[in-house]
Structures are given as C-alpha cells and as structure tokens.
C-alpha cells in the first residue's frame, strides 16, 4: 500500500484493513494500536494512520485515549442484543423471500453446507468427549465456511440487493469469532445449532416461507443471546 492514492482513499483502505483484522479476531479486543507500528507495517506515514483510527473511532471500533493511542473496543452485551435483533429480522425476511424462489441447485448447496456443518460440529463434540479442547476459531475453519455458505445461499436466493447490503453491514459490526467462542463451550449448544440449521432447511424445502422466516429469526436471536451472555461474563 502506498501513498500515491488520494488521501481519502488511503485512509479508507487503512481503516478497512485494520477493521478486518479486528473483526476476524486477529487483533483482539483491548489491544493497543500504535500509530508508528501500523505506519511501518502499511508503508505509510503516521498521518493517514491517525485519520484511519479516527474513522474507526467514529464507527465505534476503537477508542482513542489522549497520549495513549487507540484501544480496540469490544461490543457491549446491549449492543449485541440490539444488533442481533435487527439481524434476525433481516435474515428472517431473506429466508421468507428466498423460499418460493430457491432452485434445485441452491437446495443442493444448502444440503452440502449442512452436511459439512454437521460434520464439523460432530468433530468438535468428539474432541470434547475425548478431553481435547476445541480447535481455535478461524476464517478457514470447516464450521465457519459451511455456516457462511448456508446463510449466503439463502440471502442470495432472496434476490434483494438492499437486504443483502443491510445484512452485510451488521456482519461487519462485530468480531466474527464471538459466536464460535460462545458455542464451542458446550456440546449441547453445538448440537442445537445443527438442529436450528436443519429446521431452517426443512422449512425452505417445504416452501413454507413464514416458517422459514420464523426459524431463521429464532436462530439468529439465539446466537445473539449466547454472545451477549458471553460478554456479560
């Protein structure tokens, strides 16, 4: 990354790159972000880094402290509950819209994602029974990939670009590893997560749009509550 880009473009790119690392969990909550370190890493001066951090503060991602730099800010339980309430309604709407439109190829992808999702969860449960800790969350984990495909197929089948954009915005608002952190502590919660996906898929396959909406909304609300409780602890 160089400073040949416009100043605004450079700041936006820096802010997006830093936020992506925070949302992936690569940069944990409460980490201190030092301007000189980031400037050296991205090959820029401290000025655009400072502006990028201010932009992230406006978005509620970091907190700038006088003479101390930026601290990565974690979401509060209230913020999670509010966001997941909205996300549940949006993804529920996506499921409702997708149900009468979804084709055989997309249903096949849902079944494949669900099978992979079930396999990944069952592996984690077996590890727990064997006394081994669950594997750490990763963007490349089987669970994460299968979960993403399952939700994306439904959202794309809904065919509403504004809805997709609104859901994507909410996804970018919180670190993506939090749901896994909440679920992976309990075999029961992991098994229930599989069944929630199964109920969504069953409703979609039966072309029951209202039930698909209700099941998806309940699934998202459940995940939000698990994350909120985790933060409260």
Does any domain span residue 2? no
Split into its structural domains, the chain has a count of 2
- Of 40, 72, 104, at which residue does a domain stop? 72
Same-domain pairing of 141 and 174:
yes
- Residue 33 CA to residue 37 CA, distance in Å, equals 8
- Asked if residue 37 and residue 62 are part of one domain, the reply reads yes
Q: In what order do the strands lie in the sheet with 62-65?
A: 32-33, 69-72, 62-65
Considering the domain architecture, whether residues 153 and 85 belong to the same structural domain is answered as yes
Q: Examine residue 100 and state whether it is found in any structural domain, yes or no.
A: yes
Q: What share of the chain is helix, strand, coil (3-state, %, to 5)?
A: 70, 5, 25
Going residue by residue through the chain, which has 233 residues, state the pLDDT in tens, using 9 for 90 and above.
Answer: 444 445 678 998 898 888 888 877 788 888 899 999 999 999 999 999 999 999 988 888 889 988 778 988 888 899 999 999 999 999 999 999 999 999 999 999 999 999 999 998 888 888 778 877 666 656 558 888 899 999 999 999 999 999 999 999 888 777 777 888 888 778 889 899 999 999 999 999 999 999 999 999 999 999 999 999 988 88
Q: Which domain holds residue 42?
A: 7-72
Same domain? For 210 and 169 the reply is: yes
- Tell me, yes or no, whether 185 and 207 share the same domain: yes
pTM of the complete model:
0.79
């Amino acid at each position: 990354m160089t400073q040949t880009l416009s100043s605004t473009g450079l700041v936006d790119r820096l802010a997006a790159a830093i936020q992506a690392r925070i949302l992936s969990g690569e940069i944990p909550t409460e980490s201190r972000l030092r301007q000189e370190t980031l400037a050296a890493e991205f090959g820029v001066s401290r000025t655009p880094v400072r502006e990028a951090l201010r932009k992230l503060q406006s978005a509620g991602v970091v907190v700038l402290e006088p003479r101390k730099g930026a601290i990565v800010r974690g979401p509060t339980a209230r913020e999670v509950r509010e966001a997941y309430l909205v996300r549940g309604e949006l993804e529920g709407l996506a499921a409702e819209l997708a149900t009468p439109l979804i084709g055989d190829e997309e249903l096949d992808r849902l079944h494949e994602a669900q099978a992979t999702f079930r396999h990944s969860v069952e592996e984690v449960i077996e590890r727990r029974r064997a006394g081994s800790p669950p594997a750490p969350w990763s963007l490349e984990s089987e669970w994460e990939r299968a979960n993403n495909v399952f939700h994306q197929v439904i959202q794309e089948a809904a065919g509403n670009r504004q809805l997709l954009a609104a859901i994507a915005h909410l996804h970018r608002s919180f670190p993506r590893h939090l749901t896994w952190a909440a679920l992976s502590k309990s075999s029961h919660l992991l098994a229930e997560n599989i069944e929630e996906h199964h109920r969504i898929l069953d409703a979609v396959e039966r072309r029951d749009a209202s039930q698909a909406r209700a099941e998806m909304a309940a699934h998202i609300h459940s995940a939000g509550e698990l994350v909120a409780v985790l933060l409260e602890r």
